[in-house]
Structure 1
Amino acid sequence: MPMYRREESADYRVVDRWHRGVGWRARPDEDGQRTSHAFRAPDGGVWLVDPLDAPGVEAVYADLGEVVGVAVLADYHARDAGVFAKRHGVPVTVPTGLDRAAEMVDAPVRRVTDSLAGFDLRRVSPLGAWTETVAYRERDATLYVPDVLSSGPAFTVGDERLGLNVLARLAPPRAAFAGVDPNRVLLGHGTGLFGDASEALGESLRNARRRLPRAMASTVPRELRAMVGAVR
């Protein structure tokens, strides 16, 4: 199975759903498990984050409200943000520091620094290999992590429910998650966590270095495939 499918999507699958949002995969059978999300903002508008297109996918988030923005929160997540921005008549919002993402988006770009749709934004750059923005909304304890964490087999080892990218295991980004106590963790790659999410996050950070040798043996080949696929 390919890490990332580049042909036009024929279908999609909803993988995350809660009272203020939904997540879907536009290509359900790829190993990279790219997941897109729609979040309802405190003012009632809807934000699409790191979205991938699929026929009829608008029906997934239609009941959440009117789309007021599209956001890209990682350097390699431009995905189909420009397509959605044009469809809904909004710019693509990109946090400062994500210069590659801003260049890759085929639509007008708006920059933000610290917050978006009620989320606090925190920058992560594992050993300088890429840059992403972790987003946490305290009012409903929702955490979104684009790349550095995943629930998919390309990142996890043993019984982990959340696995850090192997580069991040060398220097766990604890500062980015300081004070974060999520009820749910939504991910740019993989299915979200809706039970004991804070415990899973803490365990992943605490054991990152201890599990590094096992990760080097089991996840590195898949992570290399993912990195090469993302660059392509």
Structure 2
Amino acid sequence: MPMKGSGASELTVVDRFDGGVGWIAYPDETMQRASHAIESDGGLWLVDPVDVEGLDDLLEEYADPEGVAVLLDRHKRDAATIANRHDVPVYVPEWMDGVVGDIDAPIKRFDRRLADFDVIRLIDNPLWQEAALVDGETLVVPESLGTAEYFRAPDEPLGVHPMLRILPPRTLRSYDPDRLLVGHGEGIFEDVGRTIRRAIDGSRRTALPLYLRSVRELFSNR
């Protein structure tokens, strides 16, 4: 199973809810890169999207695209391709560095608000810049939390990113949304607030089992 898929893609719909939908373009890849389209403030916002055949047909049942949002400095993905196809800008947090120069599309910056979302400045350091979105019902976390297998220790439905296990993003403990959308794997739609808190509170304790499993899988695939 490749870490990241390429070439011919296969649209797999996940996270469908009133006013939004998620998809995974390469369901067999290890990274399980998930993208989302969310209606907000009268328009459709595409979050960290990976392009896939059939995407535009999927989006037709929602509002017209208003913009493409990049929430993680490493998640440029297919933002420019999709934005140019729909004639909308790519929105990047104004404090996020090293992203704009790699996106060949019109750029707009945002800070504390994007449409009806509050913007959380989740991580901002020279190695990692990540924003999250929250509007009361939906919380979007592109990287710090995930449900893809390599995020999760055994028996965990949701995990903290392996590189953040020792110092997890504790600010996320205060949110109790109806749904959590993540950038890797399917979202969480039940008991969301408690699931987030359990993932964060247990991140150090479950780090070693996660790392050991990752090492075993690495050697078994050689």
User: Normalising by the residue count of structure 2, what TM-score does the alignment of the two structures yield?
Assistant: 0.91
Kept in 2, the 8 Å contact 1:156–1:219? The answer is no
**The one of 113, 119, 133 aligned to 1:115:** 113
Which has the larger displacement, 127-136 or 46-55?
A: 127-136
Partner of 2:205: 210
Q: Give the drift of 1:170.
A: 0.9
Matched, 1:18 2:17: yes
Partner of 2:82: 84
Rounded to whole Å, the distance in 1 between the matches of 2:150 and 2:3 is 10
Amino acid at match of 1:31: T
222 and 169 in structure 1: CA distance in 2 versus 1, 3 angstrom threshold: farther
Q: Give the drift of 1:103.
A: 2.4
Q: Give the drift of 1:135.
A: 1.1
2:139 counterpart SS class: strand
Q: Give the drift of 1:123.
A: 2.1
Matched, 1:168 2:167: no
Partner of 1:182: 177
Aligned residues: 218
Rounded to whole Å, the distance in 2 between the matches of 1:131 and 1:158 is 28
**The one of 152, 155, 167 aligned to 1:156:** 152
Kept in 2, the 8 Å contact 1:155–1:219? The answer is no
Partner of 2:129: 131
Ranges in structure 2 where 5+ consecutive residues have no aligned partner:
none
Amino acid at match of 1:16: D
164 and 221 in structure 1: CA distance in 2 versus 1, 3 angstrom threshold: farther
22 and 221 in structure 1: CA distance in 2 versus 1, 3 angstrom threshold: farther
Rounded to whole Å, the distance in 1 between the matches of 2:23 and 2:53 is 12
2:151 counterpart SS class: coil
Q: Give the drift of 1:11.
A: 2.4
Matched, 1:200 2:199: no
Greater helix share, 1 or 2? 1
Partner of 1:54: 52
**The one of 57, 64, 67 aligned to 2:65:** 67
Identity %: 40
User: Normalising by the residue count of structure 1, what TM-score does the alignment of the two structures yield?
Assistant: 0.88
State the Cα deviation string for residues 16-63 of structure 1 (Å, max 9, x = none).
Answer: 10001000111121111001100000x321111111111221111211
Amino acid at match of 2:78: D
Q: Give the drift of 1:159.
A: 1.3
Q: Over aligned residue pairs, what C-alpha RMSD do you find?
A: 1.9
Rounded to whole Å, the distance in 2 between the matches of 1:220 and 1:118 is 42
Greater strand share, 1 or 2? 2
Moved over 4 A (4+): 220-223
170 and 10 in structure 1: CA distance in 2 versus 1, 3 angstrom threshold: closer
2:157 counterpart SS class: coil
Q: Give the drift of 1:178.
A: 5.0
Rounded to whole Å, the distance in 1 between the matches of 2:82 and 2:118 is 23
Amino acid at match of 2:168: P
State the Cα deviation string for residues 151-172 of structure 1 (Å, max 9, x = none).
Answer: 0111100211110012211111
